[in-house]
Structures are given as C-alpha cells and as structure tokens.
Structure 1
C-alpha cells in the first residue's frame, strides 16, 4: 500500500501539476491515471510469479500495438503516457534490494527532469494547417506580406511562414499550408 500511495503521489505531480497546466487536456488526465494504476497493479500482481524485465517490455509492446489501432495521439501525449507507465512499473517492480530512498530518488529525478524540460527547456512547437485560399492574387511572391496579413486577420493567429501547394486557376483557389506556434493554435 505504501508503494501504491507513493506511486499515486508522483503520478499526481506528473499528471496534474506538470502535464495538465500546459496541455489543458482533461481526457488524457483521466486516461493517464487509469492506465498507470492498472499497470501498477498488473506489474505488482505478476511480480509474485517471478517474471523478469521482459514482462515490463511486453507491456510496452502491448501499448505500442494499441497505439497503432486507435486514433492518432500527439507525440507529447504519447511521451507522457510512456512516462506514467514507466513510473508505475518502477514503483511496482521494485524489490527488497532497492531501498525506499532509491525509489523516491528515481521518482524525484523523473519529476525534476519533466519540470525542467516543460518549463525551461521546451521549445515552441510549430504546427501546420492546410487551408484553401480564394484570393489567388496574393499568392505571388511579391504579395507575400499581403497574403500573410490577410491570413492573420482572418484566422487571428500569428503566422510564421506560408507555403503554397496546389493552385487551381480554373476555380481561382490555392491550397496553402500555414505554420504557427502551438500556443497560438485555433480551430480552423
């Protein structure tokens, strides 16, 4: 019970205080808690049968297969899923050769690294959206500033760059890809 409580405390630090404030994705908070709790008890229960590290790797393989059978999940969410599964496995498979100080240290190091990367080292992620644009005169290279200003006014986001894809002169439309920072994301 002590290790489960320890696991739950560190999961709460990771999920609720590191992941959620940056992502605001409540659906993943629920998923991360449930998967990590199930993995903890699954590993803890199976540990009684003297299975080795191959069992833990097998769990990762199962989740990898599930990953390809479901809707696409962002890389950051998959990374946090891997982290909560890893923390649960570490906490459940620790044996008598590993002291509680070592378990606490491993968990604390993971939390500190996550905080450091999330708050201080994370780079802004550039996101892209493909849109159909009807003002075909603005896609000329000399009208780039007009194009960018028009798109920024219409979308309300600050655009880093624009690439022109297919151009249909019969319909007077062009397919554009706009690139912007993730924190400026809106639904287009």
Structure 2
C-alpha cells in the first residue's frame, strides 16, 4: 500500500506539472510524452534500486546519464530543459522514498511550484528575445541599437552581434528588449537613417 501511495503521489505531481502548467502555456505535444515517459521510467528504476542493495548512489548516477542522453538527442529550449529536469526530479524523489512523508510531499510540490512561478507568462511579461537579420552591415553599435528599437518597437536591454558580413551587407543580432518601451522618437535622425553603410569588400 505504501508503494501505491508513492506512485499515486508521483502521478499526481507529474500530471499537474505536465497538463496544468506546461502544456497550456507551450502546447508542445511531443514533450508531454517525453516528460511522462521519463518520470515514470525514473520512478520505476529508482524504486527497484531503492529496494535493493545497490543504494541511492546509482540512482543519482542514472539521473545524470539520462539527462545527458536526452539533452544531446535533440535541441530544446531552456524552459523545456527546466521541465525535463523537474520530471526527473519528481521521479527520483518518489522512487527513492520509502514512503510518502511530509518532506517528500513538500519537495514535490516545491518542484511544481518553482516551474509554475518561474515560467508564468505574467513574470517579466514585457521582455522579449529575438534573433534579427538586417540587410545593412552595422559597425556602429549605437546605430544598430537605434535601428533595432525602431524595428522591434521596444527598448533594447541586451544586444549581441552574432554575424557581421561586410561583403553581403548583413548583420545578425540576438536582441533582448522590452516591448512597447522604446525611448526613441520616430522622426528623429537616428531612427530615420538606417545607419552607416559599409563599403563592400571585393571577394
């Protein structure tokens, strides 16, 4: 009966995390199967390890091996990495516990609550991130920033140039900005002009 209680607690936690927190926000169906499969698999393996003489050390090693295999198999976003590790953690907390205690229950709720708050759409809701490709090679960061604020309609808070192609006149930048918070005036010279163009270099 104790094992059934542990399994029921884990199923409640992973279903809450997957169906009530993750999927309504991100709608990625393939990761629903991944989260459920990883959680149940880790729960089953850790319960077997916990009932044998192998000990918890191998269970923690399994945590690391599974995470490396999964993260190398396909590219997923950072917030999805967090959900993935949460699914692993819930399975290990449940599987390595001999019974459902106040501590284990509180830790499982804490994992779900951390993702609920940290990935809440209302948290820093005006902040955005974009990779922008412009058809001008900007060597002046101030001019590039002004142009991006015009294009994106927000205030750039972080700017990283990923590619500066002087031959083909291209700038690729990763931009973090606050939407609808541009300090620039639309008809100012800095906005009206696209910035200094760079002479093409002969190939």
- Give the TM-score normalised by structure 1: 0.71
Residue in structure 1 matched with residue 85 of structure 2 by the alignment = 82
Contact 1:162 1:176 in 2 (8 A): no
Residues 26-105 of structure 1 correspond to what in structure 2 (within 5 A)?
A: 26-67=29-70, 69-95=72-98, 98-105=99-106
Show structure 1 runs of 4+ deviating over 6 A: none
Q: Unpaired runs of 5+ in structure 2?
A: 180-203
> TM-score, normalising length from structure 2?
0.67
Partner in structure 2 of residue 108 of structure 1:
109
Distance 1:49 1:148, change over 3 A: same
Cα–Cα, structure 1 residues 146 and 83, in superposed 2: closer, same or farther, change >3 Å? closer
Determine which of 158, 163, 170 is the counterpart of 1:174. 170
CA contact (8 A) 1:158 1:180 kept: no
Could you tell me how far apart the structure 2 residues matched to 1:25 and 1:182 are? 25
Aligned equivalent of 2:129: 127
Indicate the structure (1 or 2) with the bigger Cα radius of gyration: 2
How many residue pairs get aligned? The number is 173
Question: What residue in structure 2 maps to residue 186 of structure 1?
Answer: none
C-alpha displacement at 1:122, in angstroms?
A: 4.6
Deviation (angstroms), 1:39: 0.8
Deviation at 1:105? 2.4
Question: How far apart, CA to CA, are the structure 2 residues paired with 1:110 and 1:142?
Answer: 44
Q: Distance in 2 between matches of 1:52 and 1:182?
A: 49
Q: Cα distance, 1:81 vs. partner? A: 1.2
Q: Secondary structure at the match of 2:120?
A: helix
Structure 1 residues 117 and 141: alpha-carbon distance in aligned structure 2, compared to 1, 3 A threshold: closer
Q: 1:48 to 1:23 in 2, by over 3 A?
A: same
SS at match of 1:119: coil
